[in-house]
Structure 1
Amino acid sequence: MIPYWRLSGYYFFYFAFIGAFSPYFSLYLQAIGRNAGQIAVLMSLMSVMRMLAPTLWGWLADRVGVRTPIVRLSALLSVMGFSGFLVSDAYGAQFVSMALLAFFWSAALPLVETLTFSHLAGQAGRYGNIRVWGSVGFIVAVLGLGYLLDDLPIRALLWISMATLGGILLCALTIPEACSQAPHEAHVPLREVLQRPEVRALLAACFFMSAAHGALYVFYSVHLVEHGYSKSVVGWMWTLGVVAEILVFMGMPRLVKVYSLRGILVFSFVAAVLRFALIGWGAESLAVLLFAQLLHGATFGAYHAAAVAAVNAWFGTRHQARGQALYGSVSFGAGGMIGGLISGYTWEWIGPAWTYSAGSLFALAGLVVLMTGWRVRSSAA
């Protein structure tokens, strides 16, 4: 039996937190007097810890053979870390709180991804039907807060974010463990998996894709507000992107029957090159921004689903937790950190348009790496 609703509930609250935190926390930091560099540093701590924590916890999970205790512990410690924002607005205190939150919060998702695929046991095409609830949670949070923050003080964001972390903790307590070992699977050392050119190409390309999204996740809401859009419009723009993502997740079982994972990824990178150029240079036009947000279905939805499926196929059951953790660390961790930090220092130096153009260049670099390093003959192609 697949624990569909328990896994779906976890994804719902996990991404509801992202929907509350990622689009609006930079606005909160700006409201309490943080400059662009400080905002970039604080927000990039999420990426720094996603580079370190998942690998550590993934190694531990593969070593001890269980995942749910780590998922539950990380949820509890995430709540404790975030509570520091309710205590102090000092930059040093916020730095510590963000570091603690990010270290424990980022540890869980790769393990939950592994648990999900273990429960699916050969029905990987159904992953999108579970993961889509994360997108629904994101929409509920980002759209609801867009309207609420037009009337409520920005500090209300802290309490709403804390509530979503509480939801993560409650769901983590209900997720059952799953068998992680295939009894007849031949043992392939992790080093051999990592030596495969398609594996290295995918991981490098994922680094560039996350770097390309750096300015989006740190400054997109600020970018829209500075161009005269209301916070409710900001919420709708984020929602539109995630609606496109949902449609892609729901259609992935059909897409993977028609197109290869490599083909889906190549299209996603091409879409990213276009998307960030449009956001940077077309912010005065609502129509251009709407089209750019629809491309989120490709630049995140199709990209993430295809990348996770490739990692699942290549790393096998013995290295699943470490494989998903490595994917998260290299992409959302290292790539997100570099993209976020660079955007923080270019935002006021060369301006938003050129900052988003740098995102397009990152996506182009990822496209080149992917196409040259992952040849069509590969088994997951």
Structure 2
Amino acid sequence: MPLAVRLSLFYASLCLFGGVQLPFFPVWLKSKGLGAQEISYIIAATMFLRIVAGPVVAFLADRLGDRRRIVILLSWGSLGAVSLYLVASGFWQILIATLILMSLFPSITPLIETTAMKAAHEQGIDYGRVRLWCSITFIAASSGTGWLLEWQPASIIAVCLVGAIAVNLAGAHLLAREVPQPRLAVHPGGQLRAALAFTRQPLFLIALTAASLIQSTHAVYYAFGTLNWQKLGYSSDVIGVLWGIGVVAEIILFAFSGRVVARVGAVRMMSLGAAAAVFRWTMMAFDPPLWMLFPLQALHAFSYCAAHLGTIHFLTRATPNAFAATAQSLYAALSAGVLMGLMTLAAGSLYLQFGAGAYLLGAGTGVVAFLGTLVIGARWNGGKLAPDAMQDEGTPSGDQGRNGAGC
């Protein structure tokens, strides 16, 4: 089976879970008798675990050099954990099951992103056309679960979550086996010291922060977008269409991303995403009319997708191969964990006071991110920020960021 097909199938299986969990997990929690405060504790715990578990798992995968085996183990563990939902009851049982599940399943994404980008650069796989299947199955899973809930009790959500991860496990076993890469011997602890030394590089930190800030600008939208549109009197059908436009727009960009990134460049894609976020959230802050919401939602292709594509390509080109998964996991932890969590907390109080004006938080954050991308563009020319090979001591031997190809 061609590698591109294997990766496409895995991405498709990966996002089935998100398509069920993101929209409907709170519905299931409520059906189990949990109150709003208890639900918020469980959801907050999932963000915290992304911060801690992801980088640890990714570092181990980089150290072992066999990401496929780690993905399979994570999928098996996730299936066992999610199956606990079928018998769990009460806050503490559900919390424990969720802590186990969310320490395992989200850690898969950085590993598969690393594998896909490695295939893109070494074998010419079109990353965007592989990745778009994730968005397609997300829509299918969310729509299908919503349809089931029209005639099934909320308990069906747990069954759907188990089924989604079972499919993901099958997809994990379809992944191609990795060819072992020759590695220089390092002293005990050398890999960790080398990783820490690399991640402390100023340009890497600026890029990681700017990329994560762009994604965190969506916090108000994710938390209160639907509530604000309901307050404005839009029906559930219209709101569903508005959300769908954003996902369809990102699918289109993913489909043509190979040519777009080649022409625009990784850093400029990040800048484009930040600029789109500034414009999009500034306009949303003033409750624009319905006709204007459609093109604003289409900007999701830039504020999310272009920024994500630029970041993935930057990390792949700038990061030594030995730390590839570690870098991807740090991006996931900072963007979907630390900054998204902080922005969501801030968005709550701002929305209560200012309503749609809370979107200005995202607009201001986008300005800061845009300035960060300008710094990256001025100082990075497309090469590795450190050599692929490590010295015997396990530390990078120098900064080669100026010796690579243009960005």
TM-score (norm 2): 0.81
> Which is further off, 225-234 or 4-13?
225-234
- The 5 Å alignment of 1:42-121 reads 42-88=42-88, 90-121=90-121
- The correspondence for 2:268, drawn from 250, 254, 263, is 263
Separation in 1 of the partners of 2:207 and 2:112?
21
Task: After superposing the two structures, state which structure 1 stretch, 151-160 or 130-139, moved more.
Answer: 151-160
Quote the residue 1:370 is aligned against. Answer: 373
State the shift of 1:140 in Å.
1.2
Question: What is the aligned-residue RMSD (CA, Å)?
Answer: 3.0
* Deviation of the 1:11 alpha carbon: 0.7
Of 190, 203, 206 in structure 2, the residue corresponding to residue 198 of structure 1 is 203
| 1:327 aligned residue | 331
Q: CA deviation at 1:224?
A: 4.2
Distance 1:6 1:169, change over 3 A: same
Deviation at 1:37, TM superposition (A): 5.2
Select the structure with the greater relative contact order (CA < 8 A; seq sep ≥ 6): 1
Equivalent AA in structure 2 for residue 83 of structure 1:
S
In structure 2, the CA distance between the partners of 1:155 and 1:167, relative to structure 1 (3 Å rule), is same
2:32 and 2:317 mapped to 1: Cα distance? Answer: 46
SS in 2 for 1:178: coil
Instruction: Give the conservation status (yes or no) of the 8 Å contact 1:279–1:356.
Output: yes
- Superposed CA deviations along residues 74-121 of structure 1, whole A, max 9, x for unmatched, are 112222323344334533333323222211011111111122233344
Residue 301 (1) aligns with residue 320 (2): no
Residue 296 (structure 1) shift: 1.0
Q: Unmatched 5+ residue regions in structure 2?
A: 185-190, 383-406
Residue 289 and residue 299 in structure 1: after superposition, are their counterparts in 2 closer, same or farther (change >3 A)?
Answer: same
> What secondary structure is seen at the aligned counterpart in 1 of 2:116?
helix
Deviation by residue 1:213-262 (Cα, 9 ceiling, x = unmatched): 22333444444455554555444333221111111112212212321222
Q: Equivalent residue for 2:12? A: 12
Match of 1:355 in 2: 358
| 8 A Cα contact 2:214 2:307, kept in partner | no
* Residue 213 (structure 1) aligned to one of 196, 210, 218: 218
1:97 and 1:225 map into 2 onto residues whose CA distance is 33
Identity level (%): 25
Q: What's the counterpart of residue 142 of structure 1?
A: 142
Distance 1:104 1:183, change over 3 A: closer
User: Is the counterpart of residue 249 in structure 1 residue 251 in structure 2?
Assistant: no
Aligned residues: 376
1:151–1:286 distance in 2 versus 1, CA, 3 Å: farther
Where in structure 1 are there 5+ consecutive unaligned residues? none
**Aligned-partner Cα distance in 1 for 2:59–2:363:** 34
Corresponding residue SS for 1:176: coil
Report the Cα offset of residue 311 of structure 1: 0.3
The structure-2 alpha-carbon separation of the partners of 1:85 and 1:35, relative to structure 1 and needing over 3 Å to count, comes to: same
Alignment partners' CA distance in 1, 2:249 and 2:301 = 4
- 2: distance between equivalents of 1:25 and 1:303? 27
Instruction: Find the counterpart in structure 2 of residue 290 from structure 1.
Output: 294
| 2:163 paired residue number | 163
Give a deviation string over 1:164-200, Cα, whole Å, max 9, x none: 121111111221222363789xx99445543443321
- 1:126 matched to which residue of 2? 126
Letter paired with 1:350: Q
Question: In 2 relative to 1, CA 45–307 (structure 1 residues): closer, same or farther, beyond 3 Å?
Answer: same
**Contact 2:211–2:270 under 8 Å retained in 1:** no
Q: Which moved more, 1:29-38 or 1:73-82?
A: 29-38
Change (3 A) 1:229 1:13: farther
Which residue identity is paired with 1:369?
Answer: G
Residue 307 of structure 1, CA deviation: 0.3
CA distance in 1, matches of 2:95, 2:280: 32
Q: CA deviation at 1:30?
A: 5.7
The 10-residue stretch of structure 1 (287-296 or 200-209) with the greater mean CA deviation from structure 2: 287-296
Moved more, 224-233 or 335-344: 224-233
Whether the aligned pair in 1 keeps the contact of 2:4 and 2:125 (CA below 8 Å) is no
SS at 1:177's partner residue?
coil
Q: Which protein shows a greater Rg? A: 2
CA contact under 8 A between 1:52 and 1:333: conserved in structure 2? no
User: What TM-score, normalized by structure 1, do the two folds share?
Assistant: 0.86
Q: What letter matches 2:378 in structure 1? A: V
What's the offset of the Cα at 1:309? 0.7
Question: Which residue is 1:236 aligned to?
Answer: 241
Amino acid at match of 1:250: A
